[in-house]
Structure 1
């Protein structure tokens, strides 16, 4: 075996480097830090508690929220009797004589049962729920979490916002849900849905706020006037009317709609809107909604250009940004004002209009009988039309 040796010059350099390293090491280990030289330890700063931190402990923020509101969440069972059209063949005397007792009997009525959720928001026994839960019900039964049941009386229904108020007589010992404010809700906040999905009582699901101000038109509910809170907390049939909570256990919305073609998307009515409607329903039993009487879509110059170059388009549209009138309801305020199909609304009073949702909100927030000045683009001409709102009725 041949042993290779480093040249003498390299070995000398290595020896000096090793000596310097050992000297530094010995110097460092022999140093003593004097108290006057030591840097003071940073002071301990108390940390604020948060839902996430609380969830690490023995009890989660979800548990605390549900314990706070859960007793006020109710199950609503409904019954409705409908009359079915009779079949003349079933009443034929010849067939009845021929078949005798074996001939089937017609049942002119049928019992339909429904299920939903709600929550108590007033000690006097006022329950808030969805309109579609109790609409046309002949009997309403409200069941509390503690097992007590009461007959409910529907005090008011507003189909436009899908809200209803039900009254139960249960004394003054009722649990009441704590109401928050939907104005403080932000995308990414925790969302807790409580209700009776598919008949499974007292079910809790957790998610986040996915987005805010999702219009009913975007959701596919064109007959409603709402800007929903969108959440990915699981909402199923039976959850309707139940509360959507924040991390503090305050009601921020009312679960109301799901899309059959979507996974993990649910919608809730903002609680600020619900409180305003509930007050009117308790007082008057209904809510008067102002309307103009047009069916409309948002228009952009690009969409107008696509329409105008299409040889099959029914009419030419002004290439501007605004709201395109697709239909005018006969006898409506819009018809009286002279608004026509194909008009583009670009201003209401002094406010520039860029979307159908924006125009709808302006009208919804107005009062009955209020007069608006609409700036309308009709072909190459601009017109100012005066329209006075009226109460929304059934639109065909």
Structure 2
């Protein structure tokens, strides 16, 4: 569409901040981080498949450029007063202000109920045809979007697609003029201490430029907008404020290395950006209006120091399989609860949360070789990832009533009983496989582990148990300070739980 008048008046900088610079309840840049206790993700969960408002009829063959045309800074040269001004002057035309009218948000957020109203954010142009990257939370629940260029020309924008797990959205507007494009760089190549600049629209102050350094890389335990994310954030002390959401974080070569997403409101100079390499991974699919996520079908936890020692690992590394979903690619490949997945397609799993991202971005149908540790021994398995199912619900098996007269494991706070024939048949277990948890004491270690009456324990410390007496003996052999682990059947799910006794 052609240029239009602004539909909304930007809020005054002096008014109270409404989670992003809007007058009534936007969420822009009040994406204030919260440290999360642990993201127990279903691998390749694609936890929310892409939300697409409008798919592109014809997507450009090359949606972005990686060759910077801006004048780079010498990384070893002293910083001059004009160095950043030159970069800012050349790249500011690629940065846009985003003005939105928001629908009321039905779900209360970390900041309380979210009303409608207007909001402000930032974005940047990645293609001459008018494609813009910004944050998902900038345009979520909107019924109108305006995109304002640095020359004050205003266009109507539309959402092509969004991917909440990276808090990224792709927009499109139809310009009647030549557009400046921001090249995308290599976020993996960033060095801690390297200079970066941020350009944005804080508090409605158009094209504000701030400079700082890369304070850290790979920040994980951050929940932007109160939601878990795949992103391994770049931390920077370049000043980021409400309204900067969706703006570019730019390196000294004039390349975008991240999208500014979150701030820590409790501190100063603590901002976070989603690495651009992660965005480039899903951008081609984002442009089509749908991101297809692959699915392995396990839930994972970190590997503790004690468990690493028990499994004879040099250090805590890899992803501990806590659960294998029945019928999933992982189950078909032979993955067991308690396995530690060490590599995925020859890529080492240095951090347990690397696995969900790597698996989810593997092309659907591709076969991938995994190296894993099982009971202290290294082995290789091949899994063929599948498209994430729309219905991940697990068909429940009716639990049998526990048998009476179970053996007590007093210090754990639970009792176990033999399995009856009906339960064995239902679960496909052998005559001497496992015991059933008949009771769990409130407040006990067993309850804290998440044990439930009706759970069937098939292994203790990776060794099969054949009945209550064998179970009790296996537990008794584990001394205080050693790892005690259970492999469990719960309905049609396969679980693994471990703790230091």
Q: Whose relative contact order is higher, 1 or 2, with alpha carbons under 8 Å and at least 6 apart? A: 2
Aligned residues of 2:104 and 2:141 also touching (Cα < 8 A) = no
Alignment partner, residue 201 of structure 2 = 196
Aligned residues of 2:73 and 2:253 also touching (Cα < 8 A) = no
Aligned residues of 1:71 and 1:144 also touching (Cα < 8 A) = yes
- How far 1:138 sits from its partner (Å)? 1.6
What RMSD in Å do the two structures reach over aligned CA positions? 3.5
Residue of structure 1 aligned with 2:222, choices 202, 219, 231: 219
SS at match of 2:363: coil
- 1:343 counterpart = 2:339: yes
Aligned residues of 1:64 and 1:249 also touching (Cα < 8 A) = no
- What aligned pairs does 1:163-312 form with structure 2 within 5 A after superposition? 163-212=168-217, 214-215=218-219, 217-220=220-223, 223-282=228-287, 284-303=288-307
SS at match of 1:356: coil
- How far 1:70 sits from its partner (Å)? 0.9
SS at match of 1:145: coil
Q: Which has the greater radius of gyration? A: 1
- TM-score normalized with structure 2 length: 0.54
- How far 1:156 sits from its partner (Å)? 1.5
SS at match of 2:124: strand
Aligned residues of 1:157 and 1:164 also touching (Cα < 8 A) = yes
C-alpha change, 1:199 and 1:326, in structure 2 (3 Å) is farther
Q: How far does the alpha carbon of each residue in 1:35-69 deviate from its partner, in whole angstroms, 9 at most, with x for none?
A: xxxxxxxxxxxxx984796754xx52111111111
Q: How far does the alpha carbon of each residue in 1:316-352 deviate from its partner, in whole angstroms, 9 at most, with x for none?
A: x756454212344566433555645433334546666
More helix as a share of residues: 1
Residue of structure 2 aligned with 1:80, choices 84, 89, 102: 102
- 1:146 counterpart = 2:151: yes
- 1:157 counterpart = 2:162: yes
Alignment partner, residue 93 of structure 1 = none
C-alpha change, 1:341 and 1:195, in structure 2 (3 Å) is same
Distance 1:49 1:382 in 2: 47
Q: How far does the alpha carbon of each residue in 1:268-324 deviate from its partner, in whole angstroms, 9 at most, with x for none?
A: 233344344333322x1122232323332331443566xxxxxxxxxxx75645421
Distance 1:232 1:49 in 2: 19
- How far 1:263 sits from its partner (Å)? 3.3
Alignment partner, residue 27 of structure 1 = none
Aligned residues of 2:124 and 2:134 also touching (Cα < 8 A) = yes
Instruction: Flag structure 1 segments of 5+ consecutive residues without an equivalent.
Output: 1-47, 86-108, 306-316
C-alpha change, 1:296 and 1:72, in structure 2 (3 Å) is same
SS at match of 1:279: helix
Residue of structure 2 aligned with 1:65, choices 87, 95, 114: 87
Aligned residues of 2:97 and 2:148 also touching (Cα < 8 A) = yes
Alignment partner, residue 309 of structure 1 = none
